[in-house]
Amino acid sequence: MSAALPARDLQLDTTGRLKHFLTIEGLRRELLERIMDTAESFSSVTEQTVKKVPLLRGKTVVNLFFETSTRTRTTFELAAKRLSADVLNVNIATSATSKGESLLDTIRNIEAMHVDMFVVRHAESGAAHFIARHVAPHVSVINAGDGRHAHPTQAMLDMFTIRKLKGGFENLTVAIVGDILHSRVARSEIHALNILGAKEVRVIGPRTLLPAAVESLGVVTCHDLDEGLEAVDVVIMLRLQKERMSGAFIPSEHEYFARFGLTGKRLSRARPDAIVMHPGPVNRGVEIDSEVADGHRSVILQQVTHGIAIRMAIMSMAMRPDREGQSGDRLA
């Protein structure tokens, strides 16, 4: 599967509105802001006695996770249920794909049950794009993470968190720290921050964990954490993607923490009101010290909360009732 697809054309319908949500790359600032504005309108739902709105009543959402992820799958499930949709969680470990059935066969069989949306997480880059190109015209696809390529809803919930706490992006210096090479979250966040007009995006990490020519994405690179954190407004720590590493990218976790772990002392180089983020799960004592992860500048739990509102926004925008019957891309 290839991620090198005309993603913008695939994601938007003929009127320029959201049909699939596969990647941040190529989208316009106005659309990203509309997603965050819509999420803002859903934020109050969690405070209601009945935490539901009827926007997707009668619709069926399928969580199709080929990789395990408790937090992402759970927030997608909660988001769909709060929109009053029916939710089907497919256990890939026991599905027909493990018995030799192809991905397309699996999609076709589930699609025959008259579903309306696939939320897809897959270890191979381009999987969500592939599915989006083969589903029926009325079905929407949301990428919940594909290989090293993209994790657009995680990036959007992080952007939503930053906007709520900082007000905007134009004056912000943002540092993304750690395993940039293997991180689909980092790629999506770099695209989002540049589209939204952040003043500067820094990527900080050892040379072995930074992609070649990463500067072409519109970032400033740094191999020294103390130097890279100087006067930043937002610090985004990344998990070491050990499951995607095929060699010795770091000498040891202990040495990695000694050079690139976020401690209170190192955080003091950032601005006094800087916030600390992490897409999770957090490896305490490897990427970040518990004192910082649990400290007053950490917004990690707020990120989780905002993930529900952002995913509600994206699902409702992509699966609008008024889009039924419109034609879409479908390749034989």
Using pLDDT thresholds of 50, 70 and 90, give the confidence band for residue 158. Answer: very high
pLDDT at position 219 over 70 = yes
Residue type, 178: G
Structure confidence at residue 325 (pLDDT): 38
Domains of the chain by start residue, with CATH:
7-150+306-323 (3.40.50.1370), 152-299 (3.40.50.1370)
Using pLDDT thresholds of 50, 70 and 90, give the confidence band for residue 140. Answer: very high
Using pLDDT thresholds of 50, 70 and 90, give the confidence band for residue 67. Answer: confident
Q: What's the CA gap between 204 and 275, in Å, rounded? A: 16
Tell me the per-residue pLDDT of 119-129, one tens digit each, with 9 for 90 and over: 999 988 999 99
φ/ψ of residue 298, rounded to 5: -80, 135
pLDDT at position 198 over 50 = yes
pLDDT at position 200 over 50 = yes
Nearest alpha carbon to residue 133 among 317, 3, 313, 320: 3
Q: Where are the alpha helices (DSSP H) in 133-218?
A: 152-166, 184-195
44 compared with 321, residue with greater pLDDT:
44
Beta carbons of 36 and 195 less than 8 angstroms apart: no
Using pLDDT thresholds of 50, 70 and 90, give the confidence band for residue 8. Answer: low
φ/ψ of residue 310, rounded to 5: -65, -40
Using pLDDT thresholds of 50, 70 and 90, give the confidence band for residue 93. Answer: low
Q: What angle do CA 263, 178, 247 make, to 5 degrees?
A: 125
Tell me the per-residue pLDDT of 266-300, one tens digit each, with 9 for 90 and over: 999 999 999 999 998 899 999 999 999 999 999 99
Q: What's the CA gap between 181 and 187, in Å, rounded? A: 9
Structure tokens belonging to residue 331: 């390749």
3-state secondary structure of 142: strand
Average pLDDT along the chain: 89
Beta carbons of 24 and 195 less than 8 angstroms apart: yes
Q: What's the CA gap between 318 and 240, in Å, rounded? A: 32
Structure confidence at residue 323 (pLDDT): 44
3-state secondary structure of 97: helix
Radius of gyration (C-alpha) of the chain in whole angstroms: 20
Reported pTM: 0.90
CA trace torsion 73, 187, 303, 159 (10° rounding): -130
User: For residue 247, what are the contacts with CB-CB under 8 A and spacing of at least 6?
Assistant: none
Q: What's the CA gap between 126 and 59, in Å, rounded? A: 26
Structure tokens belonging to residue 170: 């134009």
Structure confidence at residue 324 (pLDDT): 42
pLDDT at position 99 over 70 = no
Q: How many CB atoms lie within 10 A of CB 101?
A: 13
Structure tokens belonging to residue 235: 């610090």
Q: Is the peptide bond before 281 cis (omega within 30 degrees of 0)?
A: yes
Using pLDDT thresholds of 50, 70 and 90, give the confidence band for residue 216. Answer: very high
Structure confidence at residue 2 (pLDDT): 44
Beta carbons of 235 and 270 less than 8 angstroms apart: yes
